[in-house]
Amino acid sequence: MKNNKVAEIRKLVKDYGVKGFQTKVLKGIDLTILKNDFIAVMGPSGSGKTTLLNILSTIDKPTQGTVMLDGQDIAKMSNKALSGLRRDKIGFIFQEYNLLDTMTLQDNIALPLSLGGVSGRECIRRAQEFAEMFGLKEHLQKYPYQLSGGQKQRGAACRALITEPEIIFADEPTGALDSKAGRELLECLKRVHEDGQATILMVTHDPFCASYARDVYMLSDGQILCRISRGADRKEFYDRIIDVQTSMGGDFSWE
Amino acid sequence: MGMIRLAILNFKSGFKNYLSLVMSLAFTVLVFLDFQNILYSDAFEVLGTRNWEYVKLLIQTTSFVLGCFMVFFIWYSTNVFLTRRKKEIGIYVFMGLSNQKIGRLYLIEITLIGFSALGMGLVLGMLVSGLFQMILLAISDLTVEIRFRPALRPVLVTGAVYLAIYMVFAGKGYVNIVRSSVLGMISAAKQNEYVRQKYQILLIKAVLGIGILAYGYGLAMKEGSVSVIGNVFAAVILVTVGVYLLFGGMIPLIFQILAGRKSFLYGGGHTLWINSVIFRMKKNYRTYAMVSVLMLCSVTALAMGFAMKGRYENIVQFENTYTFQLLSSRNDLDQQARDLIEKESPIAVSSRIPILSLDQSLVKARENYSKYAFTSYSHLRQLALDTGMELNFSEPGEDEIFKISHLYLLSLITEQDNVKIEINGKAYQQTGDSDVPYLGYLQEYMSFYVLNDKEYEKLRSLGEELMAYNYRIGDQKCFAKIRENLDVLVQNTEENHTARVAIDPESNEIDWIKVLYSICIFMFLVFILASGSILFMKVYNDAFEEKERYRILQKIGTDKKVLRRAAAMELLAAYGVSFLVMGISSLFSVGALGKMMFTNLIGVNLISVLVVFVILAVWYCLSLWAYERNAGIDSCKTMY
């Protein structure tokens, strides 16, 4: 990706519905994501968070405006090229873990590399390295049903990071976890980010989760309302997020 | 809402999903009905009473086999239905329905399915009944005019057999639901636990499976006399159990070992399909084993059909070696007989040979015949010279004897080694046998042996020496006239016994073998269609469970080509392993058949396996298409 820009969104508009009965979900978003950013997108239900994430992660297409990923306009890319982009440049962490239940944790983590044609030995080395980093080394030979929610989600994060993608998209990564497991995951993501290994864009309804990011964008009614940047203290950042949330009103509960 | 209304609504809304189930049940009804229709039709009566009796026996035996097949198929289908419905209707527990009520709902639904299948099967069966008989007669190479006469009795018999079996299994499902715990019912929807199995258990199953299979194969190939039928029966059971253990033990073990070799697993991109195969094998190994056994039945039936066709043609040729045979106490009839024949037609082949007939009280042999006939090696050599037949054995020694055999359709006595025959207190070792038709038709109706010249001379005084005169006419059209002419030679006085055998080239005496051949082909089709449809149904249903997995893979950017390859490999493993097990087992089942027919059927075996391969390849392509569709590999638009 060029000029330190990982992604660039200009005047992004997204409509749903048939002609004459359209709903504008996104109303002209501008956002630039630079290398090693850690961004959280927050907003009340119906504000367009998930739509934004879907478009950024190339699963949905914009109605108007441009989304540049890897220097290319995703609206002009073929399905095959988009699939390749998702495989090579993007990592995903989903709310529901989405590990394959027929495989061990190690097989799950190594899967993107294995499918990408990387040698077996390298797959094993990298899978073990990431598992170590995320505290999962003892669980590598277990199946998803033998793991806790937190372990599964950390496993999913390893799978997302193993190909060293340009950007990680995380959709409510702590949504299905208890607070302890959520904190463990966020600590891991923070560590990876601070080591300079990842650029992360996270969609969340949870201010605690958002406080791990460096910048928080507040979305309301399809537009970016404000951007809050973190100082040195995460606790203070958390309080500021809560203040903005309170001032915005609306339903911030989990979609 | 009443139970019946709810069940009807469920049945209506889910009918599309259960169509494959209804169709396969209807298929078994159709096949059974059409066989019953033959029993009550007059199509085969034109073959003559003897042939018709044989055909009736064949149809009754086949109906029994089809009945067993129906039991198995209904058991399998109702089980699939029960598992699926249990997951769906288990949810009614939360609505406060008791197990009995849920069971009743299941019972009504499955009865509706059962009756739909029965109705569909009976209607289609009636419609294609004439066509079915025409095909059967055409394969049998028989020309009979078919009249379509719908009969009530086959419909009643088929309906009664089907419903009796069906309701037993429906009732079994009801009991299963009533006895299920609430937790069990809800967790029927939960799955995918305990993917990998313990190595030790798999190893024990694998060793047991291989051992039992090897023993079963050994029994199938074992030569013997009266024990053969028991051996064959035991071999069928052992091979079935062995195949079951093989799929439950050795095959998952191999795949688990492969999955454990991570360099191999990740390096070649085998992760997806090998892990899926392990998962599927755990869930489906019983089905794969059943399909393998069904395919084995199918390939054996086809091989038997081919072999029967070949054997029929050979028997016809064997019996028609000569057109007329005279057996007489006089040895001066040749010229007279020639004159009578040549008045009408030239003689194509002729021979004569003295044969010694001994009373059965003087002979002790393994096979009991009313007549035992012997000739000397020199006499037989002369006959071979006269007719141009091969003589591929040398003169037996003083304590040796050589059997001149005939073509068996099937024989349960397969032992060929160390056979002894005792004549007038002296034991002779049988050194071999030959099915060259030296004596043509006569050879089929007597136990015929060749002795050393000296031994023959010694035995001459013990019985009556007769002369066999054999002629094949050049012009078959003169058969009836010559038969009449030769009748003047037939005598039965104290001094002169002369019997005449006439073999009508147009005779249809053994036409029932042709029906046996076509029934074998038909059974092959039934089994291969059943095997294919079971695998197809399994794959079709499994694909829905796989949908989520493929959705995840698409979300993380896995290329459609990679997903297609993984799906193709996964299905190939299911089809390929079943085919491989069937192929290896068929060497023994067809080998055993070859032993009973005293012939080598390896060529027939290979052709039959090849035919199964082609049909299975078509099923595979169909399954892959359905799998990709149902698992959502084809549509990767809405991923979130």
What tens digit of pLDDT does each residue of B264-283 get? 888 877 888 999 999 888 88
Q: Are strands A90-93 and A72-73 parallel, antiparallel or unpaired?
A: unpaired
Identify all chain A residues contacting B197, using CB atoms and an 8 Å cutoff: none
On the question of pLDDT at B306 being above 80, the answer is: yes
Mean predicted confidence (pLDDT) in B433-444: 86
Tell me the average pLDDT across B549-565. Answer: 85
Q: Burial code of B520-541, b = ≥16 C-beta within 10 A, e = fewer?
A: bbbbbbbbbbbbbbbbbbbbbb
A contacts of B269 (beta carbons < 8 Å): 114-115, 117
Confidence of residue B1 (pLDDT cuts 50, 70, 90): low
d(CA B267, CA A114): 6
Residue B638 has pLDDT above 70, yes or no: no
> Which chain B residues are closer than 8 Å to A86 by Cβ?
555-557
Over residues B325-353, the mean pLDDT reads: 89
Of A90, A101, A121, the CB nearest to B557: A90
In Å, how far are B72, B161, B504, B538, B611 from B66, measured between CA atoms?
A: 10, 11, 37, 22, 22
Residues 241-260, chain B, touching A (beta carbon < 8 A)? 259
CA atoms within 13 A on the CB side of B164: 8
| pLDDT at residue B46 is higher than 70 | no
CA distance B547 to B638: 12
In A, minimum Cα distance to B561 occurs at A80
Residues in B 256-295 with any Cβ partner in A closer than 8 A:
259, 262-269, 271-272, 275-276, 278-279
Nearest to A92 among B196, B266, B555 (CB): B555
Cβ–Cβ contacts within 10 Å for residue B287, how many? 20
Q: What is the pLDDT of residue B637?
A: 46
Distance of alpha carbon B238 from alpha carbon B216, whole angstroms = 5
Which of B199, B542, B545, B552 has the most A C-beta neighbours within 10 Å, making it the best mutation to test the interface with A?
Answer: B552
Q: Which of residues 188-217 of B touch A (CB under 8 A)?
A: 192-193, 195-196
- Suggest the residue from B270, B279, B556 to mutate for an interface test with chain A (most A CBs closer than 10 A): B556
Mean pLDDT in chain B?
84
CB-CB neighbors (< 8 A) of B565 in chain A: none
Nearest to A143 among B195, B265, B276 (CB): B195
pLDDT, tens only, B372-385: 889 999 999 999 99
Residues of B within 8 A of A50 (CB-CB) are 640
Q: What's the whole-number mean pLDDT along residues B352-361?
A: 88
Continuous H helices in A162-233: 179-194, 207-210
More confident residue, B57 or B374: B374
Of the pLDDT bands very low, low, confident and very high (cuts 50, 70, 90), residue B43 is low
pLDDT-derived band of residue B153, with 50, 70 and 90 as boundaries? confident
Summarize pLDDT for A163-200 with one digit per residue, the tens.
888 899 998 888 888 888 889 889 888 888 888 778 99
Predicted structure pTM score: 0.78
Whether B70 and B165 have beta carbons less than 8 Å apart is answered as: yes
CB B7 within 8 A of CB B101: no
Q: Check if the beta carbon of residue B278 is closer than 8 Å to that of residue B256.
A: yes
**Subunit contact A60:B640, Cβ cutoff 8 A:** yes
CB contact under 8 A, A86 and B262: no
- Output Rg (C-alpha) for chain B, integer angstroms: 32
pLDDT of residue A2: 46
How far is the alpha carbon of B188 from chain A, nearest alpha carbon, in Å? 16
Give me the pLDDT at residue A3, please.
60
| CA dist B23 → A180, B26, B28, B63, B288 (Å) | 54, 5, 9, 20, 21
Confidence of residue B183 (pLDDT cuts 50, 70, 90): low
Strand partners, B473: B347
For residues B587 and B299, what is the distance between their CA atoms, to the nearest angstrom?
Answer: 10
CB-neighbour burial class of residue B258 (10 A; exposed 0-12, middle 13-18, buried 19+): middle
Among chain A residues, CA nearest to B281: A102
CB atoms within 10 A of CB B416: 13
- Give A-chain residues touching B279 at CB under 8 angstroms: 102
Q: What CA–CA distance (Å, rounded) separates B186 from B214?
A: 42
For the four alpha carbons of B213, B218, B219 and B221, in that order, the dihedral sign comes to: positive
Selection from A99, A106, A102 nearest residue A141 by Cα: A106
pLDDT level of residue B417 (50, 70, 90 thresholds): low
The string of pLDDT tens digits covering residues A105-151 is 999 999 988 888 888 899 999 999 999 988 899 999 999 988 998 99
Which residue, among B262, B264, B564, B635, would best test binding to A if mutated, counting the most A CBs under 10 Å from its CB?
A: B262
**Mean pLDDT value of segment B456-460:** 89
User: B9: pLDDT confidence band, cut at 50, 70 and 90?
Assistant: confident
Q: What amino acid occupies position B362?
A: L
Neighbours of B415 (CB within 10 A): 15
CA distance A88 to chain B (A): 8
- Say what the pLDDT of residue B575 is: 94
Interface contact A83-B192, CB threshold 8 A: no
Nearest-angstrom CA–CA distance, B186 and B184: 6
Tokens of B594: 């070859």
531-550 in chain B: CB under 8 A from chain A: 549
The structure tokens listed for B230 are 């028991």
Q: Which residues contact B250 (CB under 8 A, 6 or more apart)?
A: B202, B205, B206, B209, B210
**B553 vs A: CB within 8 A:** yes
Instruction: Please check the confidence at residue B168 and state whether its pLDDT lies above 70.
Output: yes
The domain ranges of chain B are 1-192, 267-320+510-640, 321-502
- Mean pLDDT value across chain A: 86
Specify the residue for token string 């989760």.
A209
Contact B271 A92 (CB under 8 A): no
Residue numbers in B near A112 (CB within 8 A) = 556-557
The pair of three-digit structure tokens given for residue B169, joined into one six-digit string: 């299994």
CA distance B279 to chain A (A): 6
The per-residue pLDDT for A23 is 84
Per-residue pLDDT band at A158 (split at 50, 70, 90): very high
Residue B401: exposed, middle, or buried by beta-carbon count in 10 A (0-12, 13-18, 19+)? buried
Q: With the C-alpha atoms ordered B409, B415, B418, B419, is the resulting torsion angle positive or negative?
A: negative
pLDDT(B639) > 50: no
Chain A residues with CB under 8 Å of B272 CB are: 111, 115
Contact B507, B328 (CB under 8 A): no
pLDDT at B130: 77
The C-alpha of B171 sits at a distance from chain A's nearest C-alpha, in angstroms, of 34
Please indicate whether, in this complex, the C-beta atoms of A115 and B269 are within 8 angstroms of each other.
Answer: yes
- pLDDT at res. A255: 44
Q: 């084993």: which residue's tokens?
A: B289
Chain A residue numbers with beta carbons less than 8 Å from the beta carbon of B263 are: 119-121, 124
**A31-45, B174-188, B547-561: least confidently modelled range:** B174-188
Residue B360, both tokens: 């059965």
CB B600 within 8 A of CB B303: no
Does B266 contact A113 at a Cβ distance shorter than 8 Å? Answer: yes
Q: Residue A138: exposed, middle, or buried by beta-carbon count in 10 A (0-12, 13-18, 19+)? A: exposed
